[in-house]
Amino acid sequence: MTPRSVGLALLLFAVAALPLQAKQRQVSFKGRHVFEQHTGLTALPDETQEHLFLSSTTHNFWLVLPYSENWILTSSKKDPLQAQDDRYTVSIRIEDRLQGSDEEFLRGLLAELAEARDRPAYDATFFEVQKRSVMRVKSKGTDPERPWSWTFLTVAPRKNLWYLLELTLDGGKELDAETEQRLLDICGVGFGADFDVN
């Protein structure tokens, strides 16, 4: 391949990637209402500044998060949500809804995780919150100051799809009961994919 053809190939690749990059939008929440018109993502604080309400008119989900003015929210036509602040990492992705219950779907994810890591996840516990299965996975980190992370996973049904919520609390030595209950409540009653704006 000549230098000219290599350069042309790189240029074509970059041009082809532009539409994909342009569809992904990132916004910062700084305490005031945010609406991202291209992806339909809305972030709205409550009056007490205890919760942040997210919704999407494109993907038809809603989610309640702990209030923080450091949330970075990313959304695209393909990926409903990636979010991060000082303590939490959050994602919502859409999966095909095959036969079986929400717990069976989550157990399948756990088996995939164990296989990918070539060992079982450190500690997985299942809860039922408002008739919804929630899986909590405790994982060992690499930072001695923040040795553990806790990931809470649940799914919400919408037509023939599962909306998979993954909410991770990074760092810490123990998970106190109040924080655990708050995160279980988010998964059980603070997340859904069952509304339409059309």
Task: Tell me, yes or no, whether 86 lies in a domain.
Answer: yes
> pLDDT for 111-123, tens place per residue?
887 776 655 557 8
- Supply the pTM of this predicted model: 0.82
Tell me the mean pLDDT in the region 125-151: 87
Instruction: Quote the pLDDT of residue 178.
Output: 94
- Flag whether 122 is in a domain: yes
The answer to whether the CB of 41 falls within 8 A of the CB of 54 is yes
* pLDDT given at position 148: 84
- Domain span at residue 127 reads 25-192
Per-residue confidence (pLDDT) for residue 161, from 0 to 100: 92
Are the CB atoms for 76 and 22 separated by under 8 Å?
no
Total count of domains within the chain: 1
Whether residue 197 is contained in a domain is answered as: no
Q: Is residue 60 part of a domain?
A: yes
* Inside any domain, residue 15: no
CATH value at residue 58: 3.40.1000
Q: Is residue 165 part of a domain?
A: yes
Task: Please tell me the predicted confidence (pLDDT) of residue 19.
Answer: 42
Position 8 in a domain: no
